[in-house]
Amino acid sequence: MSPFHFTGSGHSGDPVEGTRWGDPHTERMRTLTDWQLNESFRSTSGTVRWDRQGPEDGKPVVLLHGTPFSSFVWREIAQALAQQYQVFVWDMPGYGSSEKHRGQDVSLAAQGEVFAQLLEHWQLSDPAVIAHDFGGAVALRAHLLHKAAYRGLALVDPVALAPWGSPFFRLVGRNTETFEELPLSLHRALVREYVSSASFQGLRSDVSEQLVAPWSDEDGQAAFYRQIAQADQRHTDEIQELYPQISLPVMVCWGAEDTWIPVAKSHELASVIPGARLTVIPDAGHLVPLDAPAALVSALLTFLHALP
């Protein structure tokens, strides 16, 4: 199946042949549940689901999601960028539609290795990389520790500087075994409230449900607490001192109303990466791709157009 196809129904899974992401007519028919990644890659941390959209001869752009999210957060951004670029999206192992299993390594260290493997699988030698939240640390580790080469790197409200982790995140991290025993209905309500707190504008109920869905069954519940249990600040501590060595073009982009990672961190991060440009987006929280997609696309296109 062509990587440009998507499903016409969130229930049947049957592809609508001849449709291409970004086509205005088909976009009007899409629903939120149409977001589906049609390709697979067997990584060292499990099967990764991925897809691409846009012109096959376009310059490559790779989007990385954060936690506890999935590639769905890039839905509108990917559609806009795919008008000019070949856009790659993927769900990290343990997230979204990718494999989740007991004993799975979903740490920042593992995800950085998986991303380097994916770039090799895609045969991308110098893509532009756009990374949100936890994805920022993944992209930085792949570049600094695994020598992944990028044409440019845009970091959107990234996990990059110590200390990180919201009070809720740290609470759950200390008590994952207790939270794993929650009745499924209470777990779903907790995840829904947690995800919603990342938005300044407020999430529509259908968007919220799409973000919560991967965590909503028994396997998803276990996976949700597994990824929190494995979150370890030492994985950013290992690379933080290397940021002044970054020589590629970098943009740091931040939601002005981010309550998960304060906007003050944006100035700190931009100051330690040589030549980094800083863009602060008003009226946006941590979930900038959903709170302010138009403003974010504008900033990203300006950055991408300036790359060699």
DSSP string, 225-294: HHHHHT--THHHHHHHTTGGG--S-EEEEEETT-SSS-THHHHHHHHHSTT-EEEEETT--S-HHHH-HH
Indicate whether 40 pLDDT > 60.
Answer: yes
Phi, psi of 28 (to 5 degrees): -65, -25
CA–CA distance from 270 to each of 275, 281, 292 (Å)? 8, 15, 21
Among candidate residues 120, 148, 164, 114, the one with its CA nearest the CA of residue 264: 164
| pLDDT for residue 172 | 86
For the cut 60, the answer to whether the pLDDT of residue 261 exceeds it is: yes
- Percent of the chain at pLDDT > 90 equals 83
Structure tokens at 172: 């759950």
Residue with tokens 């790659």: 88
Q: What is the pLDDT of residues 214-236, one digit of tens each?
A: 999 999 999 999 999 999 999 99
Give the span between the Cα atoms of 1 and 17, in whole angstroms: 9
- Calculate mean pLDDT across residues 98-127: 97
| Cα dihedral sign, 279-249-53-133 | negative
Chain-wide mean pLDDT for the chain? 90
Rg of the Cα trace of the chain?
18
Per-residue pLDDT, 166: 76
pLDDT value, residue 59: 98
Residue 186's pLDDT band (cuts 50, 70, 90)? very high
- Tell me whether strands 60-64 and 152-156 are parallel, antiparallel or unpaired: unpaired
How many whole angstroms from its chain centre is CA 70? 6
Q: What's the CA gap between 1 and 4, in Å, rounded?
A: 8
Tens-digit pLDDT profile for residues 142-179: 999 999 999 999 999 999 999 987 788 888 888 888 99
In contact, 146 and 162? CB cutoff 8 Å: no
Q: What is the pLDDT of residue 173?
A: 84
- Confidence label for 24 from pLDDT (cuts 50, 70 and 90): very low
Write down the pLDDT at residue 33: 57
Asked whether residue 5 carries a pLDDT value surpassing 90, the answer given is no
More confident residue, 134 or 33: 134
Of 17-26, 142-151, 241-250, the range with the lowest mean pLDDT is 17-26
pLDDT bin (cut points 50, 70, 90) of residue 104 is very high
Q: How far is it, in rounded angstroms, from Cα 64 to Cα 204?
A: 22
pTM: 0.89
Instruction: Return the SS3 of 90.
Output: strand
Give the pLDDT band (50/70/90) at residue 123.
very high
